[in-house]
């Protein structure tokens, strides 16, 4: 298929682009580069710099390339920031996605893969979390994504849009070519590895009094390559299915202390940790049931081990000590 990937210069986006290429699809990346990196996009993929809020640019993109599908990964992702600047998240994640959907309809594109989030569930009512559990976000980021899922249901019902909503849990690791790099960094595994690399003095453990075995939060970490493979399966399944909604997680939870211990094993470094108060709104346990996508599409994580995930992230960080800054030049159309 011919596929446009919005946000394809980002961490998950660039990994998904590579997976699509590996499966024989023709890919064009559309990214504002406000957070993404041009150098993360494979060199044989066309990269167009543009904003999903710009209807004229989107119409030119879709009418010119006439894709079979759009894989949409362009979004703001910081849940904490969304609670101080909710307007930023509703404008970009919700309203701009509506602009993209309108452009798709006008240009005859009827397949859509949506990068959704586990934040839709808020405080879980059971573990592991299943797709039919109550959706009740506790932050504006999750609400901004839930609004899109609600729009998609109506676009499917009224316009016949075929879509898949993929609810990510904690993506981590590296496919060897692209890696996790946010500014500022807010994700646990790269923060811990930055401390191992001497770029941070310590790692803060937010909350040690949760009702878990070691008192720290438990999260579901999924290798980014496994996440990317699910995008390919979902895209191809839309040829025979109208609507697909899946959790994407490892099915196993790891505590903050377990992630720290893994990083110490992998790096051989003594990583200092400092206990800190809980952050408001942090559930004790978030673990996904991914049985639905396993049964329906045959998806199975190839890298379920925590040490494997951390090792791949550490290797990428060692090979790119200055991130993408060391890669000369840009490659824009």
Residues annotated as catalytic (active site), given as ranges: 141
Sign of CA dihedral 180, 231, 94, 143: negative
Does residue 327 have a cis peptide bond before it, meaning omega lies within 30 degrees of 0? no
Beta carbons of 179 and 259 less than 8 angstroms apart: no
Q: 177-207 burial by CB neighbour count: b if 16+ within 10 A, else e? A: ebbbbeeeeebbbbbbbebbbeebeebebeb
Which residue in 209, 179, 186, 208 sits closest to 40, CA to CA? 179
């Amino acid at each position: 298929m011919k596929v446009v990937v919005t946000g394809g210069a980002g961490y998950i986006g660039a990994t998904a682009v590579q997976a699509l290429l590996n499966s024989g699809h023709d890919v064009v990346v559309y990214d504002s580069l406000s957070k993404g990196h041009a150098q993360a996009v494979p060199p044989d993929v066309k990269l167009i710099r543009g904003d999903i809020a710009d209807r004229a640019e989107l119409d030119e993109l879709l009418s010119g390339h006439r894709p079979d599908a759009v894989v949409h990964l362009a979004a703001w992702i910081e849940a904490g920031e969304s609670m101080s600047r909710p307007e930023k998240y509703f404008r970009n994640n919700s309203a701009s996605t509506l602009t993209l959907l309108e452009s798709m309809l006008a240009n005859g594109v009827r397949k859509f893969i949506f990068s959704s989030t586990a934040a839709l569930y808020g405080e879980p009512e059971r573990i592991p979390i299943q797709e039919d559990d109550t959706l009740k976000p506790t932050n504006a980021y999750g609400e901004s994504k839930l609004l899109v899922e609600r729009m998609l249901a109506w676009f499917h019902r009224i316009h016949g849009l075929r879509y898949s909503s993929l609810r990510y849990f904690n993506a981590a690791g590296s496919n060897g070519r692209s890696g996790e790099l946010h500014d500022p960094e807010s994700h646990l595994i790269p923060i811990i590895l930055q401390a191992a690399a001497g770029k941070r003095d310590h790692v803060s453990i937010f909350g040690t009094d949760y009702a878990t075995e070691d008192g720290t939060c438990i999260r579901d970490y999924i290798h980014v390559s496994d996440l990317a493979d699910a995008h390919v399966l979902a895209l191809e399944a839309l040829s025979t299915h109208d609507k697909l909604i899946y959790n994407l997680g490892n099915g196993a939870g790891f505590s903050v202390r377990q992630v720290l211990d893994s990083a110490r094993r992998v790096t051989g470094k003594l990583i200092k940790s400092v206990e800190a108060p809980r952050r408001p709104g942090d559930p004790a346990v978030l673990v996904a049931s991914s049985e639905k996508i396993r049964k329906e599409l045959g998806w199975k994580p190839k890298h379920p081990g925590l040490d494997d995930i951390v090792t791949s992230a550490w290797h990428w960080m060692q090979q790119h000590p200055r991130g993408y800054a060391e890669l000369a030049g840009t490659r824009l159309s």
